[in-house]
Structures are given as C-alpha cells and as structure tokens.
Amino acid sequence: MIGPKITKEKVKTIIDEKFIKVFDLQFEEGRHYFNATRRDLDNLASIKDDEEFKKMVPDAVSCVVVVDDGDESKLLLSYEYRYPAGRFLLGVPAGLVDPEDKDTESPVITTAIREIREETGIEVDESKDKIFVINPLLFSSPGLTDESNALVGVVLKGNDLSKLTQSGAEGQECFDGFALIDKAKAKELLKTGVDDRGHYYSVYTWAALMCFVGDMWK
C-alpha cells in the first residue's frame, strides 16, 4: 500500500520560530496533518525521497553511558529539568546535533562526546573508552513530530567519577544531580515506571534502561 505523497508545494508554514516550527501537511485536497518540528521546510522528513530519508541525520543524540569499572557496571543518569513536564526528570546525557557536527565523519558520535562533556564533565577517551551507535535514528512521536534521536552507547573505563559536574549546562539547561544505578535498580525502574522521586521519565530513559539490563552495551 502506498500512502499519500507529500511534496514541498503541499506544505504550508504555520509557525516559524527559532526553536520550533509548525507545518500544515496538506496531503490531499481539504485534508491536513500538522507537524511540530525543529526542521526547516527544505529538511522535513515528509518531503524527502527514499534515498534522502535513509541518509537523514537525526535532530539529536541520546547517550547510554555505562561505567564499567571491572567489578559491577552501572548506568549513569541525571536529573534534568524538563520544562513541558514542569519538573526534574531522570534522563540521559543528550543534545541537539549542531550544524558543524554534520560535516564530521560521524555527526552522532561527535555530538555524543560533546554532550557528555557538557553535562557530566567527562572527557570521552576513544583510545580506552568504547563509543558506538546503538540506533542511528529513532522518531520521538511521529504522530506529532518528525523530531528524531540517535542512540549512542558509551562505555567508560577507569574514569574518575569524583569529578562529575553539571557546571557545563548551557542556555535553558538545568540539572539536579546524578544517579548511578546497577542492573537491579534499572530493573526496578523499568517495573515501576517512575524514578525515586515518583516521577515518570522519557522514552529515551526507558530505552537506556533496556539497553543496560539487556547487555546491549557489551
């Protein structure tokens, strides 16, 4: 089955702000679907052909950071204030892919290294630490937006965690501490569906927990 084809000529701009845009995808005469996105009109997923779609760079990167000290591995999470939710939520180091990142050999790896440095103070050392792509592009909620994240795995070996810091937060970013959790705790968080503060968390936190307990990082 072939769905309706959306071309650039069928897209109408509703909102065009720096950090959010809304487009009306007029996929048939008199029928509309709205897309809230970070992307410009020329870069919308809906108007890409199959080859362009397959080569698309995600909007952001979420990192599954595992501390492997040779004894018991732990997943590194943190509490970040999420404005739409109105509270600090348990999450992973994450951030947008910058325009200059797209010119590097691996935009998502470049973004991951930068975001981990800014949000944890850790400098990933590719000569001893392991960094790899778990999933190149995941849509966040394709019924509402074409925004997407790559999942990048990072295994830290022998890093000094006493120097963890959130002082590198930029712009509207606001943090409230770290959470180093073992596999038993990760399973508990998956089972209860809330963090230790009783708050729900994002789907990318859920994905990181699943990757951790499923040993996808090994």
Q: What is the pLDDT of residues 152-168, one digit of tens each?
A: 999 999 888 888 999 88
15 in Cβ contact with 22 (< 8 Å): yes
**How far, in Å, are 60, 111, 171 from residue 167 at the CA level?**
21, 18, 12
Nearest alpha-carbon partner for 6 in 29, 34, 28, 31: 28
pLDDT per position as a tens digit, 131-156: 999 999 999 999 999 999 999 999 99
Whole-prediction pTM? 0.93
Angle between helices 203-213 and 183-192 (to 10 degrees): 140
Rounded distance between C-alpha atoms, residue 141 and residue 138, angstroms: 9
